[in-house]
Amino acid sequence: MDIPRKVPRTFLAVDDCIAKLLRDIIPFNESSGGKRVIAIQKETIHGLLLKNIPRPLVLAIEEAFSVGAQRAYAAAQGMDEGHLPHVVGQLRHFHMNEAFHRALAANNASPCPIRGSGIVSGRTGVFTLARFNAKDKLWNNARRSNTRRQMSEANRAIEPLVQSGLFSGYDAPADAVAFFVGCFAGSLRIQPEAPITMQIAVPDRHMRQWLFRESLDKFIQRYDMPASLQNDMARPKLKANVGKDLEKDGTSR
């Protein structure tokens, strides 16, 4: 971009930024004869998740949550009613951690070792995966853990996929974090042996908002979808010389 020599600094800075922005979002396209063409950003959070987390791993985690919750409830049977909800809650943590760890290990997602009540995490593609449980409607548990908050800081890199910044573009991230959340009813009277829903959630860098959140049921269906709507390939093509020959012969209508 040509910049006049005598331009106040502030304007120069803004101008530089706009120039950078133009370079980032409107790349030079040689195939369009040198015109700048606006590139539509196609990457999405769910696209990134689908690309990095294999379907069998998601299915395994879904199963691990169900089985872990079931084991926890079974193990708590016989405890005093007075502290049964707490016992079930704690046992869910341990049993679901264990099942989660095995699901990660069996699907080559490099789980960290189980240690005390620490968070179990694994790695697949650019994503670090971890889990927590929460009440179905209220996810106030999520931010309680300092470790989870620190982990979420990595998602700064993928925030532009949801809200693109004016001065910073999106670059493919090297790190990101996704949580699998087991949502329970919050009362042992309602479905105590299994989560009400299971969700996959991607927090923002402060873990105050969710960049993406979806039930595992729906999320798994995304793997089944074709990359695009069904292509219409059932089209004949005129042979190269057909129309031209007729014109030369003068036999066309």
The residues of the shown chain that bind other proteins, judged by CB under 8 A, are 55, 220-221, 223-239, 242-243, 246, 252-253
Nearer to other proteins, 113 or 226 (CB): 226
Tokens standing for residue 245: 């020959």
Q: Is 183 helix (H, G, I), strand (E, B) or coil?
A: strand
Encoding tokens for residue 78?
């016989």
**For other proteins, the closer CB: 1 or 233:** 233
Contact 50, 222 (CB under 8 A): yes
Which DSSP symbol is given to 173?
-
Nearest approach, Cβ of residue 225 and other proteins (Å): 5
Report the nearest approach of other proteins to the CB of residue 195 (Å): 17
State which residue, 172 or 229, has the beta carbon closest to other proteins.
229
CA distance 111 to 57: 12
CA angle 225, 231, 233 (to 5 degrees): 145
Minimum CB separation from other proteins for residue 231, in Å? 6
CB of 216 vs other proteins, minimal distance in Å: 10
**Cβ distance to other proteins smaller for residue 62 or 159:** 62
State both tokens at 194. Answer: 């299994």
